[in-house]
């Protein structure tokens, strides 16, 4: 429907939309109200919950298109993309947004290819100019910002987490649910899935408001315990530079940078990270950057809002103590 700004729901596989959906729906709602349309949620899942549907309504979805089928979990691009394309062709949304998460990055790219439509991946700003959507996205490892627009609808975009203002929760708002019929593609891949609980008990990197990140300066995997302790005290996620990941000190999913995750927390604390351009590509849009490095010439200080020249092994425990004192007040 013209005027429909769709948002692909990212859920936690327990029937709850993730927090990043507040941002995607908030931005879709803002643009839709300017365009005289409405934000709507498209949820492909094996398990929706009433609470999840209620949450989408409170975050501003005016309609939830719910496709509930065991075939949708775990995520498989070759199942999701044709279904999303069929829905788009039936309903002609004006825009379709996702979040920059592993599955949505892939799903939206596959969808764009199927529709022959343009995709602004990893967008950091969206605006309507003369009735057309204009997206801003960083290129060349964040050194330049490119602006792009679309030759045809739907306008497809993925939105970088922690950049867009989350929707204000509208308590009691209810989104009607529709369950459109779609053709499920025959499975072309059989999937052997092994699931391991790899949770660290700390927030996820992509969603965290504070990230404590470590690099080669940590000198060994055992020293990440220092950062984990600090992270626990302030509710932060722990990230790493590629040097730390390549050395086998942290799994790749914690890597921040051009070939890792792109993050944009409210506060980024970098310990023993030099600030190579490829690392900056993944964190330079953080709201406040604080670097801790014993080398005053380290390039990370050029983009840091706050810098501490010192030995991280002394500074990290001191910071933890001080944060704890503040939090106890
Ligand atoms: C194609 C490509 C893609 C890449 N992608 C990524 C990516 O996604 N993410 C990424 O991070 N890198 C990436 N890199 C690698 C990048 O170029 C750097 O090599 C890497 O970021 C360096 O990691 P580092 O800062 O931890 O290590 P180093 O550059 O070795 O820096 C270590 C820092 O720790 C400081 N230090 C040492 N001891 C202490 C101490 N006790 N206290 C305080 N400070 C201390 C040092 O002064 C130094 O500044 C990529 C490279 C290429 C070519």
Which pLDDT value is given to residue 313? 98
Which pLDDT value is given to residue 162? 86
List the residue whose alpha carbon is closest to atom 26 of ligand 1: 215
Which pLDDT value is given to residue 250? 95
Which pLDDT value is given to residue 186? 77
Do residues 33 and 168 lie in contact, with contact meaning Cβ atoms separated by under 8 Å?
A: no
Specify the CATH number of the domain 210-328.
3.40.50.1220
Which pLDDT value is given to residue 1? 58
Report residue 192's pLDDT band, with 50, 70 and 90 as the boundaries: low
Which pLDDT value is given to residue 8? 98
Report residue 2's pLDDT band, with 50, 70 and 90 as the boundaries: low
On average, the pLDDT of the chain sits at 94
List the residue whose alpha carbon is closest to atom 31 of ligand 1: 274
Which pLDDT value is given to residue 206? 81
Query: How far, in Å, from the CA of 288 to the mean position of ligand 1?
Result: 20
Report residue 74's pLDDT band, with 50, 70 and 90 as the boundaries: confident
* Phi (first) and psi of residue 79, to 5 degrees: -95, -45
Nearest to 154 by CA among 70, 73, 84: 84
Which pLDDT value is given to residue 41? 98
Query: Which of 211, 215, 271 to mutate for ligand 1's pocket (most ligand atoms within 8 Å of CB)?
Result: 215
User: Domain segments of the chain: what residues?
Assistant: 4-178, 210-328
Query: How far, in Å, from the CA of 272 to the mean position of ligand 1?
Result: 8
Query: Which of 241, 254, 283 to mutate for ligand 1's pocket (most ligand atoms within 8 Å of CB)?
Result: 241
- Which residues approach ligand 1 with their CB closer than 6 A? 215-217, 241-244, 255-260, 272-274, 276, 278-279, 282, 292-295, 298, 311-313
**What average pLDDT does range 91-116 have in this prediction?**
96
Class of domain 4-178: alpha beta
For residues 64 and 163, which has the higher predicted lDDT (pLDDT)? 64
d(CA 81, CA 62): 23
Question: For residue 224, is pLDDT > 90?
Answer: yes
Which pLDDT value is given to residue 204? 85
Would 4-178 and 210-328 be classified into the same CATH topology?
yes
Query: How far, in Å, from the CA of 124 to the mean position of ligand 1?
Result: 25
**What average pLDDT does range 264-287 have in this prediction?**
95
The model carries a pTM of 0.80
Query: Which tens digits make up the pLDDT trace of 4-23?
Result: 999 999 999 899 999 999 99
């Amino acid at each position: 429907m013209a005027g429909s700004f769709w948002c692909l729901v990212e859920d936690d596989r327990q029937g709850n939309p993730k927090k990043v959906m507040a941002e995607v729906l908030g931005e879709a709602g803002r643009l839709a109200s300017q365009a005289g349309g409405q934000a709507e949620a498209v949820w492909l899942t094996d398990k929706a919950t009433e609470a999840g549907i209620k949450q989408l309504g409170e975050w501003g979805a005016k309609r939830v298109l719910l496709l509930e089928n065991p075939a949708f979990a775990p995520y498989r691009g070759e199942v999701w993309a044709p279904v999303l394309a069929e829905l788009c062709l039936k309903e002609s949304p004006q825009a379709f947004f996702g979040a920059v998460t592993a599955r949505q990055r892939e799903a939206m790219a596959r969808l764009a290819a199927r529709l022959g439509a343009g995709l602004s991946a990893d967008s950091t700003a969206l605006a309507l100019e003369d009735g057309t959507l204009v997206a801003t996205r960083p290129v060349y490892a964040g050194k330049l910002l490119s602006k792009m627009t679309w030759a045809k609808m739907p306008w497809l975009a993925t939105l970088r987490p922690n950049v867009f203002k989350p929707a204000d929760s509208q308590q009691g708002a209810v989104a009607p649910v529709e369950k459109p019929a779609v053709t499920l593609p025959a499975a072309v891949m059989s999937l052997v899935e092994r699931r391991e609980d790899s949770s660290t008990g700390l927030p996820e990197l992509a969603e965290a408001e504070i990230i404590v990140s470590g690099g080669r300066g940590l000198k060994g995997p055992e020293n990440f315990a220092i950062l984990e302790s600090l992270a626990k005290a302030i509710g932060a996620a722990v990230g790493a530079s590629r040097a730390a990941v390549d050395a086998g000190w942290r799994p790749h999913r914690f890597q921040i940078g051009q070939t890792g995750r792109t993050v944009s927390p409210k506060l980024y604390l970098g310990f023993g990270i030099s600030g190579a351009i490829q690392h900056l590509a993944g964190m330079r849009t953080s709201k406040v950057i604080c670097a801790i490095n014993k080398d005053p010439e380290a390039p990370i200080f050029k983009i840091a809002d706050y810098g501490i020249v010192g030995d991280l092994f002394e500074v990290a425990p001191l910071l933890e103590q001080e944060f704890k004192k503040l939090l106890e007040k």
